[in-house]
Amino acid sequence: MGRRRVSISRIENRTTRQVTFAKRRVGLFKKTHELSVLCDAQIGIMVFSSSGKLYEYCSDTSGYSFKSYIFNYLKVNNIADNLS
């Protein structure tokens, strides 16, 4: 039996929605890790669940923390100067 196409819409069943979230979050973080390793990219990703819990991934290629990723983003986009 092959895979079937999944329609992209909100899953109404709360338990099923949570299971799907957990599985897709793991897959997303795995792909993020693969991209960072293969392309030597610095990647930070944060995901908030519907309950408000934070999940984050930070590629650890250069010893950066997630805070430093955010600061670099703000600096590159000239936002950091406006915050002081």
Taking only the tens place, the pLDDT of each residue in 37-82 is 999 888 889 999 999 999 999 887 556 678 888 888 888 888 866 6
Q: For position 3, what pLDDT does the model report?
A: 83
In terms of DSSP H, where are the helices of the chain? 14-39, 66-76, 80-83
Rg of the chain in Å (alpha carbons): 17
5-19 CB burial, b ≥16 within 10 A, e <16:
eeeeeeeeeeeeeee
* pTM reported for the whole predicted model: 0.74
Q: For position 73, what pLDDT does the model report?
A: 84
Of 6 and 50, more confident: 50
CA separation (Å) from 16 to 6, 19, 20, 26, 41? Answer: 14, 5, 6, 16, 33
